[in-house]
Amino acid sequence: MPVANSIAAAAGHLTEWRQDLHRHPELGYEEHRTSKVVAEKLRAFGFDDVQEGIGKTGLVGVLHGRNGPGDEAHSIMLRADMDALPILEETGLPHASETAGVMHACGHDGHTVMLLGAAEHLAETRAFEGTVYFCFQPAEENGGGADAMIKEGLFERFPCRAMYGMHNLPGLPVGHFATAPGPLLAACDEFEITITGLGGHAAEPHDCRDTIVCGSAIVQSLQTIASRRIAPRHPCVVSVTQFHAGDANNVIPQVVKLSGTVRSFDEEIHKAIYTEMERIVSQVCAAHDCTGEVDGGHVYYPPTINDAAETKFCVEVARELAGEAAVQDDLRISMWAEDFSFFALKKPACFVMIGNGDSALLHHAKYDFNDGATPWGSSFFARIVEKALPVV
Ligand SMILES: [Zn+2]
Ligand SMILES: [Zn+2]
């Protein structure tokens, strides 16, 4: 079964919508224009209900099948994310971001439009029985928008039995899909380490307590957590990504701040990493006569675990759509994180990667979502609905 005809015919305006969103990227919880555009379109499609302002800028569109609303057992939820990243776009494309320093470098503009494409198609055909909730979430990148929507009663207000989400994947050909049952993406969070020493004249370091030397030693030692303290059977990453120190060439700074991210698949491992981090920071600081403080657990995202049955179902749907060879069902786990994981903790769920072709990598200033992927993504979502909630 190829891409749905009506979706193939819609490819032109779906591309226009996607490029319009790309021109107007908005950061997490600031997706005011984006959510307004989405709500207007859902209403224009004839949706039964559209509820805005869930998790600040998130919204849910409600669409009933041809025989009216379904109960929880006959309802599913589809999800797209809407936020952009604080990156200065360098694509030079005609539809490049018109907001300096903000860009859709993760393809959430494409995710939003793929879901809109399915919404438009299904609102017209209503070839399903029950209810589909179209969840457009804010702040996936680091604001935990999924969690915010859940905390505002998402699943009480829109009871459903399963949830499906999609992310584009550079390097995977357009028209291809990839996923796997079980752990797919890592848990992540962010940490900040503050090291305090004694600032002073760079010409007299013996009278100071040098925070830069101490901080450098801490960065080196933190590398031994994954390589020397956690067993290799437990995938994990500790990356220091920021090192802020000093303002002048002749001053040893009083305070240094390090920050970064921790990735793992297991709550116990996650705790063990922080125990090691605390130990390293306090003891290396002691060796340098400085003091250190670890502030961890910011913006914790759980691991994304795909439900086995829902993954089997998604693979079947994708294979019917794209062909056997275009669908991989054993995608290797990745240390990326996704806040779709919050939904997957609450409902049987499956997260699927869709090919973005030979594009720049995600979060790169030259990345762009591939509009050729949209009909595939929209058709996939539409077929999920038609198969999960069949007309009997
Ligand atoms: Zn991203
Ligand atoms: Zn993303």
In this structure, which ligand is nearest to the CA of 79? 2
User: Measured in angstroms, how far is the CA atom of residue 324 from the centroid of ligand 2?
Assistant: 26
User: Measured in angstroms, how far is the CA atom of residue 107 from the centroid of ligand 2?
Assistant: 6
pLDDT digits (tens, 9 = 90+) for 103-113: 999 999 999 99
Same-domain check for residues 210 and 350: no
User: Measured in angstroms, how far is the CA atom of residue 389 from the centroid of ligand 1?
Assistant: 31
Q: Tell me which residue has tokens 């559209």.
A: 50
Contact 365, 104 (CB under 8 A): no
User: Measured in angstroms, how far is the CA atom of residue 165 from the centroid of ligand 2?
Assistant: 11
User: Measured in angstroms, how far is the CA atom of residue 166 from the centroid of ligand 1?
Assistant: 12
Domain boundary among 300, 328, 360: 300
User: Measured in angstroms, how far is the CA atom of residue 360 from the centroid of ligand 2?
Assistant: 14
**How much is the pTM?**
0.90
Per-residue 3-state assignment (H helix, E strand, C coil) for 118-162: HHHHHHHHCCCCCEEEEEEECCCCCCCHHHHHHHCCHHHHCCCCE
Q: How many domains does the chain have?
A: 2
CATH of the domain at 213: 3.30.70.360
Buried b / exposed e over 245-274, threshold 16 CB at 10 Å, is bbeeeeebbbebbbbbbbbbbbeebbebbb
Average pLDDT for 273-299 = 94
pLDDT of residue 58: 98
CATH of the domain at 175: 3.40.630.10
User: Measured in angstroms, how far is the CA atom of residue 286 from the centroid of ligand 1?
Assistant: 38
User: Measured in angstroms, how far is the CA atom of residue 4 from the centroid of ligand 1?
Assistant: 28
User: Measured in angstroms, how far is the CA atom of residue 141 from the centroid of ligand 2?
Assistant: 7
Same-domain check for residues 292 and 345: no
Same-domain check for residues 59 and 171: yes
Residue 4: pLDDT band (50, 70, 90) is confident
Same-domain check for residues 290 and 346: no
pLDDT of residue 162: 98
pLDDT of residue 69: 96
Which residues touch 330 (CB under 8 Å, ≥6 apart)? Answer: 180
Residue 142: pLDDT band (50, 70, 90) is confident
User: Measured in angstroms, how far is the CA atom of residue 222 from the centroid of ligand 2?
Assistant: 27
User: Measured in angstroms, how far is the CA atom of residue 134 from the centroid of ligand 1?
Assistant: 20
Mean pLDDT of the chain: 96
Residue 210: pLDDT band (50, 70, 90) is very high
What is 17-33 written as a DSSP string? HHHHHHHS---TT--HH
Average pLDDT for 134-153 = 96
Same-domain check for residues 110 and 154: yes
User: Measured in angstroms, how far is the CA atom of residue 373 from the centroid of ligand 1?
Assistant: 17
Q: In terms of residue numbers, what domain contains 128?
A: 5-181+304-388
Average pLDDT for 115-129 = 97
Domain boundary among 283, 300, 317: 300
Check pLDDT > 60 for residue 1: no
Contact 313, 349 (CB under 8 A): no
- What separation, in Å, do the N-terminal and C-terminal C-alpha atoms of the chain show? 20
Same-domain check for residues 177 and 277: no
Average pLDDT for 150-163 = 98
User: Measured in angstroms, how far is the CA atom of residue 85 from the centroid of ligand 1?
Assistant: 8
pLDDT of residue 50: 98
Average pLDDT for 204-226 = 98
What's the rounded Cα separation, in Å, for the pair 110 and 105?
10
Residue 374: pLDDT band (50, 70, 90) is very high
User: Measured in angstroms, how far is the CA atom of residue 141 from the centroid of ligand 1?
Assistant: 5
User: Measured in angstroms, how far is the CA atom of residue 81 from the centroid of ligand 1?
Assistant: 10
Contact 371, 168 (CB under 8 A): no
Q: Express as a percent the part of the chain with pLDDT over 90.
A: 93
pLDDT digits (tens, 9 = 90+) for 161-180: 999 999 999 999 999 999 99
Residue 22 CA, chain-centre distance (Å), reads 17
In this structure, which ligand is nearest to the CA of 304? 2
User: Measured in angstroms, how far is the CA atom of residue 240 from the centroid of ligand 2?
Assistant: 21
In this structure, which ligand is nearest to the CA of 169? 2
pLDDT of residue 2: 63
Same-domain check for residues 47 and 137: yes
Average pLDDT for 338-360 = 97
pLDDT of residue 299: 64
Domain boundary among 260, 281, 300: 300
pLDDT of residue 333: 84
Same-domain check for residues 244 and 334: no
Same-domain check for residues 63 and 175: yes
Torsion sign across C-alpha atoms 251, 254, 257, 258: positive
User: Measured in angstroms, how far is the CA atom of residue 48 from the centroid of ligand 2?
Assistant: 29
In this structure, which ligand is nearest to the CA of 111? 2
Check pLDDT > 70 for residue 256: yes
Average pLDDT for 28-49 = 98
Same-domain check for residues 140 and 100: yes
pLDDT of residue 146: 98
Same-domain check for residues 237 and 124: no
What's the rounded Cα separation, in Å, for the pair 111 and 369?
9
User: Measured in angstroms, how far is the CA atom of residue 293 from the centroid of ligand 1?
Assistant: 29
Q: Tell me which residue has tokens 């059977």.
A: 233
Contact 384, 117 (CB under 8 A): no
pLDDT digits (tens, 9 = 90+) for 63-107: 999 999 999 999 999 999 999 999 999 999 999 999 999 999 999
Average pLDDT for 183-187 = 94
Same-domain check for residues 177 and 192: no
